[in-house]
Amino acid sequence: IPRKVTVENVYAIDPLVSVVTVNKNNNDQATFKNIYVKTTDGKKNVKVCQWSQASKTPSNLGDGPSGKLCQYSSSDVHINED
């Protein structure tokens, strides 16, 4: 069953893996608008959206904007900006 989520006007602090992870083989979809991410170490290489293969032990397949899986542009995401 595909899941669809819209993440809008969110301030995330120190995401452990990513802000959202979707399952590619389930045709999940995530849309992002006006997202602020703050890391206490100041790093900017934060994964906003990643996708995996759903299974007993999920495997990471990629991250970043990707068609319908992870929908956002660089203007939608602000990392370590006030």
- Are 37 and 46 in contact, with CB atoms under 8 Å apart? yes
- Proportion of the chain above pLDDT 90, given as a percent: 80
Which pTM value belongs to this model? 0.86
Q: 55 pLDDT band (50/70/90 cuts)? A: confident
- Please give the radius of gyration of the chain, using alpha carbons only, rounded to the nearest integer: 13
Q: 56 pLDDT band (50/70/90 cuts)? A: confident
What are the φ and ψ backbone dihedral angles of 56, each rounded to 5 degrees?
-60, -40
- Are 42 and 14 in contact, with CB atoms under 8 Å apart? no
3-state DSSP call for residue 18?
coil
Distance CA 42, CA 63 (A): 20
Residue 73 DSSP one-character state: -
